[in-house]
Amino acid sequence: MKKYILTAIALILCHYRSALPQDLSKQVIKLIATKQEYDHYSPWMKKGLQKITMNGCVVGKNLIITSAYSLADVTMIEAVKLGESKKYNVDIIVKDYLCGLALLTVTDKNFFNGLEDSEILPPQKLIGQTCSIYRWDSEGNFREYAAVAINTSLRIYKPNCGVLTHTMATEMEAGGYGEPVYKDDKLAGISTGFDGATKSIVAIGVDTIKRMLDDISDGSYEGMPFFWIQATPLEGDVNLRELLGLEERETGVCIDKIHPLSSGKETLQNGDVILNINGVAIEDSGLYRSPSYGRLNYNGLIYLNHFINDDIHITVVRKSERIPLQFKLKGANLDRMTLSLTPFDSQPEYMVVGGCVFQHLSLGYMKTWGDSWEKQCDRRLLYHYRTKVWDKSDDGRKVVILNRVLPAAVNSGYQDLSSLVLERVNGAVVKNIMELKAAVSSSTGNWLKFDFTGKTSIVLEKKSVLESEDDILRTYRIPSPWYLTPVPGSEQ
């Protein structure tokens, strides 16, 4: 793959040209985003302020489209047009991490005077073709970078939403911050990631862009549909095909697991073999043939150009019978998931008891091990993460973990413990940080006993916990012993 990318880069004829058609410079917008991320390892803290230069483009009705992930934990956004120095305040209309895109507008609608809407490229194969990436740089210069499309695929964003993306080889030194990609002067994608080692950029394709614009066209944005199954391709497994009752020419994927909040949960069953979706056959490899892009993952038949409440027709083989099924697409109800899979824009809930730092297991916490967190993280937590990601939480149940123990006299002997899953407090099961706080506060005995998975326990004297609280908070500069997400209309 790396050799392929380098070969593609060699075909690029120029790094950039400073003089570009005026109509494109009127479509691309410079964005200045000020961000401050929450620290999921020390959940009472925020990291330092970060200011990044982004780009986007005008797509009609005073809207600017750009990358959502570049706006995670953003505190302020400003817009600049046509290389001018004046900055305009920006409002977020939609920021959808499930599709990777955001729609913005500018408070002062005079900002859009003199600007032009981008025309969207019809869906088509781009592999091997040269596109152009445009952006306004920090000095106010309009830049063009050639980019050769080397791959098109369906990328799955957590929690399991399929987005068509193009990987492009380019000579840009940095990017992936919402720069628009054009082909024949028409919008072909929005950049959302950059790999400096291979000099390649990832751009979200026009299908997702059009889907978002169509969704919001009535003034209300419903969001991405949610379809999450785990399925096994049947390629080359003759015995499994015979066991499932498939005929010689039938192809498909076998459902192993269905998320309890997924569309089709009440209709599909484990062991069903999906032969086709909306009449389009699925290959044994788990791919289907898209008329616009070639072979794509079968999830594209759900996510590309479909909306919440759309009817989906699926034919399955169940116990050797061919059964036509139908269900409606529904949205992702993130509040009912046991684990938080979009760890942005809100402070993690936590509680410090006798120097023991408790919080909820989340994707944000797992990422404190770095970009390669699945290889570097604590294996016990990885097991719980991979298991609980399939659970729903109608009763507010979360996975409460012991992050670490802040050394203090009150917790002597326990200071090396970390990354443990809490099961009980004084013998009672606690479902979340709120119940942990209630259990500690209502305890009437002399001791606080915390039991963790793996038969590990911490026992603290309650009197010492109370007496040491102010000193621990002062020593480790913790503003409060706990934080709970405020309930609308109430006070903590």
CB 327 within 8 A of CB 263: yes
CB 5 within 8 A of CB 195: no
CB 224 within 8 A of CB 163: no
CB 93 within 8 A of CB 63: yes
Query: What is the CB neighbour count within 10 angstroms for residue 328?
Result: 13
CB 175 within 8 A of CB 194: yes
What pLDDT is stored for residue 246 in this prediction?
87
List phi, psi (to 5°) of 112.
-85, -5
- Could you tell me the domains of the chain? 2-216 (2.40.10.120), 229-328 (2.30.42.10), 335-483 (3.20.190.20)
DSSP secondary structure string, 414-466?
A: -TT-EEEEEEEETTEE--SHHHHHHHHHH--SSEEEEEETTTEEEEEEHHHHH
User: What percent of the chain stands above pLDDT 70?
Assistant: 94
- 165 Ramachandran zone, left/alpha/beta (phi>0; psi -120 to 50): beta
Outline where 233-299 has alpha helix (H). 238-244
Q: What tens digit of pLDDT does each residue of 421-450 get?
A: 999 999 999 999 999 999 999 998 899 999
CB 68 within 8 A of CB 102: yes
What pLDDT is stored for residue 14 in this prediction?
40
Distance CA 422, CA 412 (A): 19
What pLDDT is stored for residue 329 in this prediction?
96
Digitized pLDDT (tens) for each residue of the chain, 492 residues in all: 544 444 444 444 344 444 444 479 999 999 999 999 999 999 999 999 999 999 999 998 899 999 999 999 999 999 999 999 999 999 999 999 999 999 999 999 899 999 999 999 999 999 999 999 999 988 889 999 999 999 999 998 878 888 999 999 998 888 999 999 999 999 999 999 999 888 999 999 999 999 999 999 999 999 999 999 999 998 877 888 888 888 888 899 999 999 999 999 999 999 999 999 999 999 999 999 999 999 999 999 999 989 999 999 999 999 889 999 999 999 988 888 888 888 899 999 999 999 999 999 999 999 999 989 999 999 989 999 999 989 888 888 999 999 999 999 999 999 999 999 999 999 999 999 999 999 999 998 899 999 999 889 999 999 999 999 999 999 999 999 999 987 555 455
Distance CA 93, CA 102 (A): 8
